[in-house]
Amino acid sequence: MTLETRPFDPAAYLDSPEAILAYLEGAFSEGDAGEIADALGVVARARGMSQLAEDTGLTRQALYKALSSEGNPEFATVLKVVRALGFRLHPEPTSAEPASVT
């Protein structure tokens, strides 16, 4: 008996704001730029890439390219996407002691 498989698409499971937030928090916690871009792309597909393109003023093609694990989006693009998805970026200390300013 042959086992039939299909590709896993995490976008299919991002059906609530809580699920989306948890998914993005996981990607951001690793700190890998490719993983963050890819996670934003997955969330964008879950929400609707056409709507995101309209909300950001970018083309769908540019978003697909930038928001992939191989993409290297400009920071301005990341900010536009994050805002259009209804989130914001904010600094958070990585330890109990804040970094010293020299």
Q: How confident is the model at residue 95 (pLDDT cuts 50, 70, 90)?
A: confident
Using CB atoms within 10 Å of the CB of residue 42, give its burial: 0 to 12 exposed, 13 to 18 middle, 19+ buried. buried
Residue 101 has pLDDT above 70, yes or no: no
What pLDDT sits at residue 52?
A: 95
For residue range 9-62, list pLDDT tens digits in order: 999 999 999 999 999 999 999 888 889 999 999 999 999 999 999 999 999 999
pTM: 0.82
Domain extent listing, the chain: 32-87
Contact 1, 7 (CB under 8 A): no
CB neighbourhood size of 72 (10 A): 11
State the alpha helices, DSSP H only, in 31-74: 33-47, 49-56, 60-66
pLDDT at 97 over 70: no
Structure letter (DSSP) for residue 8? -
The three-point CA angle 86-89-95 to 5° equals 140
